[in-house]
Amino acid sequence: MTHFRAATILLSTVLACASASAATLSFESLSSGNLGSSSASLAEALISGTGTVLYTNEYFLGQGGSVCSAFTTSSSTSCTGDLEISFTTAVNQLSLQAIGFDEGDSVTISAYAGSSLLGSQQVDTADGVVDFSAFSGVTKLVFDDQSTGSGLAYGKFSFTQLTSPVPEPATGLLMLLGVAALGQFARRRQAT
């Protein structure tokens, strides 16, 4: 039973040092419509596109909004530019929703951990949910748009963001207590 207690204390200490928090990408802090730039910075990610501008709209208003890489003319806007989202820290449990406009809209979305490709998904249906939750440590999404219609926008990004492994003061105290308990168990074992 003593080994079980020691293992439990050690496991609690290790788990207390690493944590994660649920997060979303919210574009609602950006102005709606043409952002006048092909890149934008959020607290959780840097977004850049090959279109002339990034374009945000009110799809999923109250749920983070949506974004696309757009080509604009004086008479129209099409969300057919490629897009890249680089997360500030690695994420897990990633999912998003693609919002389609016309027949012929299609995009390949690839998830990367650093420069290593984790996997890709083809999206060619309106309002398709893209689930990358099977991959951990995602640092970047690349959207390769092959649309022949008006293109796709993306919203409802949700993920678990890995937090910094720097322990909080309470975690340090817990770790010291765990080490002291292990020492006490070892001392008791030697005495018997």
110-130: pLDDT as tens digits? 999 999 999 999 988 767 789
Higher pLDDT, 118 or 64: 118
1-15, 110-124, 146-160, 169-183: least confident range = 1-15
Highest mean pLDDT of the ranges 54-58, 74-78, 115-119, 186-190: 115-119
pTM score, whole prediction: 0.72
Higher pLDDT, 16 or 65: 65
CA distances from 81 to 25, 55, 69, 72, 106 (A): 19, 11, 5, 10, 11
Both tokens of residue 59? 């799809």
Cβ contacts of 174 within 8 Å, gap of 6 or more: 12, 13, 16
Do the beta carbons of residue 83 and residue 40 sit within 8 Å? no
- Residue 60 confidence class, pLDDT cut points 50, 70, 90: low
Three-state DSSP state, 5:
helix
Q: What is the pLDDT averaged over residues 162-186?
A: 71
Higher pLDDT, 172 or 167: 172
Please check the confidence at residue 68 and state whether its pLDDT lies above 60. yes
Q: What is the pLDDT averaged over residues 178-183?
A: 82
How far apart CA 80 and CA 55 sit, in angstroms, is 11
- Taking the alpha carbons at both ends of the chain, their separation in whole angstroms is 14
pLDDT for the residue 88? 92
- Residue 61 confidence class, pLDDT cut points 50, 70, 90: low
pLDDT mean across residues, the chain: 80
Please check the confidence at residue 47 and state whether its pLDDT lies above 90. yes
Q: Is 26 exposed, middle or buried (0-12, 13-18, 19+ CB in 10 A)?
A: middle
